[in-house]
Amino acid sequence: MPLTVTPSQTVGPFFSIGLHPVELALDPGGEQLAIQGRVLDGDHNPVGDALIETWQAGPDGQYSQNSSRGWSRLATDDSGSFRFSTFKPGRVRAGNQLYAPHIVVAVFARGLLRHLVTRIYFPDEPSNADDPILNLVPEPRRATLIARAVAPRLFQWNIVLQGREETVFFEC
């Protein structure tokens, strides 16, 4: 009997059973905002079956022990689009380092053997200049991590999985 190569396992496709969107509980003390964007492949084609999870600190810079606060899960639609409502996180302190307000994003999609991790930073945030993680990224690539304001309290941020405009992803 000839031996054949076992197909590799990838993350996804995802079935909707048990993967209903989980919106985070909005913090009444935080600046409410929305982030919209698309997940795109290297040819800028939409990835219509990706899953995105977000984690963030509260406006006070602290992560909540309540799993529904500061965390969300959503799927992209057929056009690769996503949108979620949230609040602007505060600056997070870890040890003696202070980080700019950011949202951590995990991306799960077909063809990926492991999820990808990245961050969303906010434009015109003075503390971006001092953020230890953002400063590890070469200047020309930082734009892939910074959302763009398109209206009051509405930001656009796309995830490009590979290619010339690939989003910066971090090892974890």
* 93: nearest Cα among 62, 66, 120, 127: 62
pTM of the model: 0.85
On whether residue 16 sits in a domain, the answer given is no
On whether residue 21 sits in a domain, the answer given is no
CA 20 – CA 6 distance, rounded (Å): 31
pLDDT tens digit sequence for 120-134: 999 999 999 999 999
* 38: nearest Cα among 74, 70, 77: 77
pLDDT tens digit sequence for 89-114: 999 999 999 999 999 999 999 888 89
On whether residue 52 sits in a domain, the answer given is yes
Gyration radius from the chain CA atoms: 17
Name the domain count of the chain.
1
pLDDT at 103: 97
Distance of CA 120 to the CA centre of its chain: 6
Sequence-distant (6+) residues with CB within 8 A of 23 are: 72, 74, 84, 85
pLDDT at 6: 56
Give me the CATH number covering residue 55.
2.60.130.10
Are the C-beta atoms of 18 and 58 separated by less than 8 Å?
no
pLDDT tens digit sequence for 16-61: 555 555 555 555 567 899 999 999 999 999 999 999 999 999 999 9
CA 26 – CA 133 distance, rounded (Å): 26
- What are 168's two structure tokens? 């910066």
Its domain, for residue 77, covers 32-160
Stronger pLDDT, 7 or 159, i.e. the higher one:
159
